[in-house]
Each structure stands twice: as C-alpha cells, then as structure tokens.
Chains A and B, each alone.
Chain A
Amino acid sequence: GQNIDQPTEMTATEGAIVQINCTYQTSGFNGLFWYQQHAGEAPTFLSYNVLDGLEEKGRFSSFLSRSKGYSYLLLKELQMKDSASYLCAVREDSNYQLIWGAGTKLIIKP
C-alpha cells in the first residue's frame, strides 16, 4: 500500500540546523515534494526532487534516495519564522495526484 512517514514534531534552537526525514512506500515514484505550512495558512512549495542527490536552495536543502525510499529536508541557520509544519508528498506516477505525509511540526526555540 501507499505510506509516507514523517516525525510528528521536532524542536530545534534558533541559529541551529535541523533535518526532517521522510520515508515512503509507494507502488511507483515520479517525484517528491516538500511544502511549508504555517499555522492557519496554506502550504507553500519549498522543493522538488526526482533524481537522487541533494538540491540546495538558500538555507533549505532537500535530499532524495530512491533506492531507500527516503528524503530529508535540511534547514540551516534556523530563524523563528521557520516554525511551521513541513509536509512531504510523493507523486507515484504520471498522473497528477500526490500522496501526502501527515506533516512534521517544527518548533523553534530562542
């Protein structure tokens, strides 16, 4: 069956680095997305990985290993505004649907 696992909640300190993991079990794979969602707001797109390796975009990086069914989102130089939920989503095949994880709530402390 389809399954995406992420930790429910993580806590980190302002200025530090945090890694949010996502593991997936799907019948196919055609891309993995990371979204950020602040409380009460809509998800906003952060990154997209379809090939193995690291994609860097400013303070945020996303890594993918297709053979392991694993991705992580790395946030550097944490700021208080990074307090949000981070959603991992997988596209199984060439259709338009995404399978979503339940999200990881990241709490940043001063």
Chain B
Amino acid sequence: DVKVTQSSRYLVKRTGEKVFLECVQDMDHENMFWYRQDPGLGLRLIYFSYDVKMKEKGDIPEGYSVSREKKERFSLILESASTNQTSMYLCASSSPSGLAGADTQYFGPGTRLTVL
C-alpha cells in the first residue's frame, strides 16, 4: 500500500512565524503535491514537484515555498505565517506508472494549521 505521512496532524503557530510542513512517501513516486483545503472551496494546489529539486507553482503559491531535496520528501514552508493561512494542508504523491490509473494521487492524513 502507498503510504504518505505528514509531520503533524495539528499545528498552532503565531502570525509572523516561519512554519515547516513535511511530507514523506514510501512508494518511490516521482510527483508530489501540496494542497490546502478550505470549506466550500475544494482542494487548491499550492506547489507541486515532478522530480528532485524541481518545483512548479500551482494556483495559489503566494506566501509559500517548497523544497524537495530527496525523492521521498517534499516540504512546504510558510515564510511568515498569516491568519489567512489557517487551513487544512494536504500532501499527495503520484506516479505516471501507477496501477490504479495514470497519476492517481495518494494523500497523507493532512495537517490542520491554525495561525493566531
């Protein structure tokens, strides 16, 4: 089974703090994604990566950065957290050779971040 893990389930930070969210997958997937999920808005893509050290902006990259130094690990960084970044953050991974269907995404458990 695909396993995607995230560093924290719940996180509380203060405005202006630098926040690191980590994601690790154990299936040797090439692609990794960071989303945020807010009520009524669905999943919105922040950044994704299709290879080590490669990154692409998604729909809402402002205020975020990412790092992918190893294939299995994809980090999301909030340089200076703000209250409007309070959300559920979901990490996912996929592979073009996935058995269930090309590029099926598998999700981690999510991190609920609250910025005070």
A-side residues, CB < 8 A to B, are 4, 8, 31, 33, 40-45, 48, 50, 87, 89, 91, 96-98, 100-103
Q: Is the CB of A96 within 8 A of B103?
A: yes
Query: Can you list 15 residue pairs at the A/B interface with Cβ under 8 Å?
Result: A31-B103, A33-B101, A33-B105, A40-B110, A42-B108, A43-B43, A43-B107, A45-B104, A45-B105, A87-B43, A89-B43, A96-B31, A98-B45, A100-B44, A102-B41
Q: Does B12 contact A (CB under 8 A)?
A: no
**Min CB–CB distance B79 → chain A (angstroms):** 23
Which residues from chain B contact A100 at a C-beta distance below 8 Å? 42-44
A66, chain B: closest CB distance, angstroms = 16
Give Cα A31 to B98, complex, Å: 14
Contact status A102-B42, CB under 8 Å: yes
A8, A33, A44, A97 pick with most chain B CB within 10 angstroms: A97
Residue positions of B touching A, CB distance < 8 A: 4, 31, 33, 40-45, 48, 50, 58, 90, 94, 100-110
Smallest CB gap from B107: residue in A: A42
Q: Please measure, in the bound complex, the distance between the C-alpha atom of A31 and the C-alpha atom of B104, giving whole angstroms.
A: 10
